[in-house]
């Protein structure tokens, strides 16, 4: 049995997520395995493998908090997205002092990563459909996507074709938008 197979077997046999993470990181860094290859060998999702890999770099204070059951595995996955050690510890301490659940922790980490506070109400599916319908009535060849997440909103207008077809449509849309500003 080769080194890779032995390591994969160790990963499968251990219940300690930090040992799993270190072994996974070793396979990726030292043996050059790709995450996609590991997903096949281990039967884990790529997201889970990436989470485990990131957790290896958490400060000891946070790792101890997990072992002493002060925070959950889900908390670890969420806070491991932060790179700054000082910020990691700040967030960890806030989780403990305010007894944050995972949804609140997710919001706190998102705020730390993107400097955007959550809140507000998203555009409903019915509203999106209404806008799509109105736009389709005016510009038949236009494909519209409205995307809204917790950290950004985006409208994608797509027209398929060469510039002979797309330029007049783009100019009409841009003119309407610039006329609206006045």
Query: What does the pLDDT look like over 32-81, one tens digit per residue?
Result: 889 999 999 899 999 999 999 999 999 999 999 999 999 999 999 999 99
Q: Taking Cα atoms as reference points, which of 58, 31, 36, 33 lies closest to residue 47? A: 36
- For residue 155, give both structure tokens: 């409208």
- Could you read off the pLDDT of 22-43 as tens digits, one per residue? 999 999 998 888 999 999 989 9
Entry pTM: 0.68
In 3D, which of 71, 125, 121, 118 has the Cα closest to residue 95? Answer: 71
What ranges do the domains of the chain cover? Answer: 3-114, 125-181
| Rounded Cα–Cα distance for residues 148 and 79 (Å) | 23
The CATH number that domain 3-114 falls under is: 1.10.10.2830
- Considering just the CA atoms, what is the radius of gyration of the chain in Å? 24
Q: How far apart are CA 42 and CA 13, in angstroms?
A: 11
């Amino acid at each position: 049995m080769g080194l890779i197979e032995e390591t994969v077997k160790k990963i499968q046999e251990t219940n300690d997520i930090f040992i799993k993470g270190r072994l996974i990181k070793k396979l990726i860094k030292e043996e050059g395995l790709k995450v996609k290859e590991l997903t096949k060998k281990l039967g884990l999702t790529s997201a889970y493998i990436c989470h485990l890999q990131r957790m290896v770099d958490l400060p000891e204070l946070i790792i101890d908090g997990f072992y002493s059951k002060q925070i959950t595995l889900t908390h670890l996955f969420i806070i491991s997205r932060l790179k700054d050690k000082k910020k990691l510890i700040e967030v960890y301490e806030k989780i403990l002092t305010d007894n944050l659940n995972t949804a609140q922790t997710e919001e706190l980490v998102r705020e730390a990563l993107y400097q955007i506070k959550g809140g507000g109400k998203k555009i409903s599916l019915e509203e999106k459909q209404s806008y799509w319908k109105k736009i389709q009535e005016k510009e038949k060849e236009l494909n519209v996507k409205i995307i809204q997440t917790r950290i950004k909103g985006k409208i994608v207008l797509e027209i398929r074709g060469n510039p002979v077809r797309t330029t007049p449509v783009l100019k009409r849309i841009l003119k309407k938008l610039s006329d609206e500003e006045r």
